[in-house]
Amino acid sequence: MLEVNDRDERDAGRRKRAAIVAVWLPDVSEVDFEASVRELQRLVHTLGYDPEHVITQRRDALSAAAVIGEGKLKELGDLTGGTGHTGTTAPKRLDKARAKRAQGEEAHVPQKPKDDLEDDAEDVSEDGPKHGIDLIAVDHDISPSQARNLERATGVAVLDRTGVIVEIFHRHAKSREAKLQVEMARLRYVAPRLRESPTGKERQRGRGAGEAALELDRRKIRDRIKELEEELEHVQRKQAQRRELRRDARRVALVGYTNAGKSSLMRALTGSEVLVEDKLFATLDTTVRALQPETKPRILVSDTVGFIKKLPHDLVASFRSTLDEAREASLLLHVVDASDDGFPAQQAVTRGVLEELGVDAPEWLVLNKIDRVDAEERARLGRLYPEARLLSARDARDVAALRDAIAAFFEDAFIEREVRLGYDEQAKVARYHEELRVLGQRYEEDGIYLTVRGDQQTLESLAKG
Ligand SMILES: Nc1nc2c(ncn2[C@@H]2O[C@H](COP(=O)(O)OP(=O)(O)OP(=O)(O)O)[C@@H](O)[C@H]2O)c(=O)[nH]1
Ligand SMILES: [Mg+2]
């Protein structure tokens, strides 16, 4: 006991550590494999762990039992202080962690518990994780039984790629809508990972509070998901109404891979204070602001949630409203981080998601962070992507040029028209001034003549209304 306490005290305040497990499958190139592992390291880091160890293995397929083969599993067990094989009972602390996740609490990855040691002779190891590994992150989507087997062999909690992403979303969700969406995705992810029922041995021993929580059975989870769906529908109806009000406005959506610099560009283009962070999935909520300096008619810019390789489908589906922004935009700025070697793959992922969503607005490729790219590489990118805009969100001149290009894009589609209004229609005259550019105004006997310029949609809706 003393030893365990000592270790806990020593560990208090230390940053948590993670080990990454990745299998290099035959149909994956070396570049893609390494990029994927690096990305998972960044994800794990965003979640608050130092990804200190990377265990990789070449295999034809994932091992059905525990992802990696027996030899590697032993190696992993040595690293974590686990048995290295799957033949032991899952330690209770892992179940508690799972139960907590299912309840929507913080999924902190447990240390060796002090109170469970004596009565569980089969527990993974008597002296706890030797190297203080707190999490194993697997770069594949794995089955609940593979996760359980890995946990048995290592005595450490296991998350797969989806699990890591779901946890990050959970921590970063701020608005009511984002929170509801994440809770739903989380329940859908966690539910199949709950153990169905305790084993006979555990039943004899009697169960503590932690295990009682496990009895959150599937039916309860389904009920909760239903509740969430209803609440979400209500919130989203309101969102849709808000979008309806902006319908006539010209809209630009910033889309792209996570961390590409969408929010940075949003800030620069609109002078707004949206969150910019060197984290994956910093943005989960949509923000809409007017392009600055303001054009007439106004152009609205929206920032959206970033995409990632193998973005869990539940999460894609649940972030509908951010994606509706993209769907309803007249122009898409597809932002990529040009300083990242792996950007073509990231660009392809974003394209894939946009296609799946049926987004077909004109799309400009923005090669951002060009300040981090040397002259030679810039020239190469210029040749390779002649249509792209190479820029830095940190360079005021680049941002001003982009702003002008956006304004010109809409301006090109504007038309000029002369309209006649009655002298009793002052309110309407005012609306024309507010929503369109008025180039001239004449007072004739039969009415007020306005020469206006703007987009067809706004012109038509004003003529009707
Ligand atoms: N050097 C450099 N860094 C940039 C540039 N644009 C963005 N960054 C940095 O890149 C990181 C991510 O930027 P964000 O604007 O938060 O990226 P995002 O695309 O909104 O990311 P998510 O919201 O996570 O999808 C931050 O640390 C920014 O400061 C740029 O042009 N040059
Ligand atoms: Mg962002």
Q: What pLDDT is recorded for position 308?
A: 86
pLDDT (mean) for 423-437: 93
**More reliable by pLDDT, 65 or 357:** 65
> Sign of the C-alpha dihedral, residues 453, 455, 460, 465?
negative
Q: What is the pTM of this model?
A: 0.77
Residues 114-135 pLDDT 10s: 333 333 333 333 444 445 899 9
312 CB under 6 A from ligand 1? Answer: no
Confidence of residue 377 (pLDDT cuts 50, 70, 90): very high
Atom of ligand 1 nearest to the CA of 281: 24
Task: Compute the residue count for the chain.
Answer: 465
pLDDT tops 90 at residue 246: no
**pLDDT value of position 332:** 96
What's the pLDDT at 214?
53
What is the per-residue pLDDT for 68? Answer: 94
State the pLDDT at residue 247.
Answer: 63
Q: How far apart are CA 200 and CA 98, in angstroms?
A: 20
In percent, the amount of the chain with pLDDT more than 90 equals 49
pLDDT at 189 > cutoff 50: yes
Confidence of residue 12 (pLDDT cuts 50, 70, 90): low
Ligand located closest to 261 CA? 1
Helix orientation angle between 320-327 and 343-357, rounded to the nearest 10 degrees: 90
Task: Compute, in degrees rounded to 10, the torsion defined by CA atoms 271, 321, 220, 94.
Answer: -50
DSSP one-letter string for 240-254: HHHHHHTTTSEEEEE
Higher pLDDT: 340 or 96? It is: 340
Instruction: Say whether pLDDT at 396 is over 60.
Output: yes
Give the phi and the psi of residue 267 in degrees, each rounded to 5. -60, -50
312 vs 138 pLDDT, higher one: 138
* Closest C-alpha to ligand 1, atom 6: 261
Q: What is the pLDDT of residue 125?
A: 39
Region 416-438 average pLDDT = 94
Mean model confidence pLDDT for the chain: 82
Closest alpha carbon to 391 in 264, 220, 277, 215 = 264
**pLDDT tens for each residue of 199-222:** 444 444 444 444 444 555 677 888
Closest Cα to atom 27, ligand 1: which residue?
Answer: 278
**pLDDT by residue (tens digit) across 247-266?**
667 899 999 999 999 999 99
Distances (CA, A) of 10 to 14, 15, 121, 131: 8, 11, 25, 13
* Residue 313, pLDDT score: 65
Quick check: CB of 285 below 6 Å from ligand 1? no
Burial 355-393 (b: 16+ CB within 10 A, else e): eeeebebebbbbbbbbeebeeeeeeebeeebeebbbbbb
Q: CB burial class (10 A; 0-12, 13-18, 19+) of residue 6?
A: exposed
Separation between Cα atoms, residue 202 and residue 456, nearest integer Å:
71
Q: Looking at 169-173, 213-217, 330-334, which range is the least confident one?
A: 213-217
Q: Closest residue (by CA) to atom 11 of ligand 1? A: 278
Type of residue found at 173: A
Pick the atom of ligand 1 nearest to 392's CA.
31
pLDDT digits (tens, 9 = 90+) for 141-159: 898 889 999 999 999 999 9
Nearest CA to ligand 1 atom 5: 369
Nearest C-alpha to atom 2 of ligand 1 is from which residue?
A: 369
Please check the confidence at residue 291 and state whether its pLDDT lies above 70. Answer: yes
For residue 83, the CA-to-ligand 2 centroid distance in Å is 42
Q: Which atom of ligand 1 is nearest to the CA of 277?
A: 16
Q: Is the CB of 276 under 6 A from ligand 1?
A: yes
Once rounded to an integer, what is the mean pLDDT over residues 289-293? 92
